[in-house]
Structure formats: structure tokens, C-alpha cells
Amino acid sequence: MIGRRRSMHQNARILALACVLVLAGSSAVGAQEATAEPELVVAGSDHGVDMALDPDGYRHIVSSDLNDARMRPVGDLWYATDRGGAWSTQKLLEGDGWDLAWHHPAIAVDGEGSVHIAVVRAVAGFDPEVTEGIYYLTDEGRDPGDFGSPVKVAGKDMTDPSLAVVDGVHYLVYDKHARLGNRSSPAPAILKTDHSGSLVDHRLAEDGWDALVRADPSGRAHIVFQSASADGGGSVLRYVQVDPDTGEPTRSRRIPGTGDAWSSAALAVDPSGQPHVAWATE
């Protein structure tokens, strides 16, 4: 599929350059000025990292360590937080070399401070995109940092989750890994939400990838994803809102100026509910 993803080797190098560092800023200085040295909180994270802030401003990080010091696949899932006043790190799920890896984690913190994590489970030593599905963990209803056992929420070949939780409602977006050379098999982008009380799938696009979701203070979820352009010769970014009353996604709209937006995008929502999107082109 043309332009669908970079190779996994390229992704690993890019992510390895961005080891899990936290750089704190100060509201008393300009937004571009850093006021603290980076802090290394998890080493060796080369296959996915995500961060969320809780209502008190504490930081929560998940990361996947795909390789250990012996350069063999491991795939452990790590969680770090400074909620206790100092950084603490714990291994949530353990990979076992060639047979299992946890990667591409996503994290969200709700208004009560509970932490929610979605993560892909895959065979580590072969193709990490051939997945066994997406799993969910949370410390909601338990002591902080006690995540219990993972629960499978999406099936085989599903990957690249992004997660938002607001007012007790979960919004999980992800896509199906495209099989090289198999154009007859759809690789959709999907929204899964329990707005109705049970998990329901909504197909955002027949062919979509790199989906992101963020929620605004009103409870409305905002989603961006990449999709093949109408002429099939490139990709564009598309935008979707989720109705906070019904949980139904709106019809997707192309974001102007995003022709051939091969690289992943970034999404943020300000306090007024206005979405902001950034992307790179090649």
C-alpha cells in the first residue's frame, strides 16, 4: 500500500533518538525556554512512548523496551510517574524474548486521576506488526499504580492505539495492520467506545492509519487519522468529532493542506475545545 508506513527499522531508530526524557517548563518564563535539565526516567525505550498529565499536573509515562543490552527482543511494558513527588518506575508487563512483546503503548489520565493504558501485544522476534491484538490496563478502582491484569479489547492485526478517557467514557482509536501486497483486505481505522455502556466499534475509514484521539473539557472527543487520497496516489489527514451525547462519530473531513502527509501527525485540544493539528510532509 503506497506510503502507508515507514519500515519498522526506521521507526525504531527514530524512537530511540527520543529516549524517555521529561523536560519541565515554568509558566513564569517564555514558552520556548526550558528551565530544567532533562530527566532520564526509563532507559532503552525504543518501540513506543506516551505521556499524560493528571489533574494535579503530575506526569505519567508508558514505554516499551523492545531490546535489552544483549540486543535481543524483549518487549517489556514500563510505567513511570512523579505523582509521589519523585520519579518511580515499574514494569507492568514482561516480554519473553522471541515469543511476545508489548509495544506501541498509549496512556490517558481521567479527571479523577486514574490511569488508563492501551498496548499492542505481538510476536517480538519476527514482525512486530503481526499482532495478537490490543490490551487495556487501568488502576481505576484500585490503589494508584496497581493495574491488575490486561484485558484484550481489540483483535488480531490491530495496532497503533491512541486513548482518551473523559467522564467515565473510553475512546480508543487504532488501525488494522496492512498486509504488504494484499490490497483486497481492508485496513480500516476504528473508534471503539463504551459511551453506550458497552464497547461499540465505529469504522472511521476503510483504509486509515496513525489515528489519534484527544478529549476536550466538555467531553467531546476529537480524532485525526491518515487515509488514502481519493486518487490513490498519496495520503491526507482527516478529522472527526465524536458527539458527547450519543458517542457517534461525525463524517470525517479532510484537513486542508494535508496532501501527501506521509509522516505522523500530532493533535492537541485547548480548553475552549478547539483542536490543533501539526504534521510533517516528505
Mean pLDDT across the chain, nearest whole number? 78
Q: Which three cell numbers stand for residue 70?
A: 544483549
The residues, any chain, with a CB within 8 Å of residue 4's CB and separated by 6 or more, are 178, 187, 209, 235
User: Could you read off the pLDDT of 112-141 as tens digits, one per residue?
Assistant: 999 999 999 887 554 545 788 999 999 999
Residues 188 and 201: beta-carbon distance below 8 Å: no
Nearest CA among 267, 238, 152 for reference residue 199: 152
Q: What DSSP line would sit under 249-261, residue for residue? A: BPPPEEPTT-TT-
Cα distance between residue 203 and residue 190, in whole Å: 5
Confidence class for position 206, pLDDT limits 50, 70, 90:
confident
Q: How far is CA 94 from the centre of its chain?
A: 19
Nearest CA among 195, 178, 48 for reference residue 124: 48
Nearest CA among 26, 150, 22, 138 for reference residue 94: 150
Rg (CA), the chain: 18
Residues 77 and 62: beta-carbon distance below 8 Å: yes
User: Could you read off the pLDDT of 44-89 as tens digits, one per residue?
Assistant: 555 788 999 999 999 999 998 755 554 555 688 999 999 988 889 9
Cα distance between residue 195 and residue 245, in whole Å: 9
In terms of residues, how long is the chain?
282
Whether this model's pTM surpasses 0.75: yes
pLDDT at 67 (0 to 100): 56
Confidence class for position 32, pLDDT limits 50, 70, 90:
very low
| Residue 20 scores a pLDDT above 70 | no
